[in-house]
Amino acid sequence: MAKANDRPLEGYHLLLCVTGGVAAYKSADLASKLTQGAAVVDVAMTDAAQQFIAPLTFQALTARRVYTTMWQPAEDFRSQHLSLTEAADLMVVAPATADILAKMACGLADDLVSTLALSACGACPILVAPAMNTRMWNAPPTQRNLQTLRDTGVRAVGPGEGNLACGTTGPGRMAEPAEILAAIIDMLRNTPPKSKR
């Protein structure tokens, strides 16, 4: 019999947004951990993310449809970029590339994930897990964008330091899935699922 702490996300509906970085493979592990924690997980992917990992991977891990474009037919008459964030208790962007952080900070909505991020404002909290090359992470525009997001209530986990895909070592490594999971549980700890409000 499963213990309550084995299902820390039971009743919660999470929206996992995957953007185009090599760390997308860690997002598959995160999706698995979220579903094992009893969360309902919807996954949205950018075109770039699909160059690193296939939507079918997330479909298999979550047993749910994966959203890859603004133009997929919706289940109902509401636009999916609104209905997905309305249903979500939390939106998680992992990996959060420099590109998506810039789009979110400026309010751009030119693909599915950036549109979801904009529509999440006022609908659900957002957690980002930055992942990029050290120079991109340290670049003043990236730091300004992240501060802008923090000022609007977006939380960040990571990045960590270590070996990066580009062959260098330094900050920019996406937080490990277990660390992101802990941040998610912490963010939701005192908030009941939308389904029970």
Catalytic residue list:
166
Q: Determine the Cα–Cα distance for residues 152 and 172; give it in Å rounded to an integer.
A: 22
Tokens 């580009």 belong to residue? 166
Alpha-carbon torsion (35, 181, 92, 57), positive or negative: negative
**Distance from C-alpha of 94 to C-alpha of 175, rounded to nearest angstrom:** 9
Strands 13-18, 90-96: pairing kind: parallel
Give me the residues paired with residue 126 across strands. Answer: 91
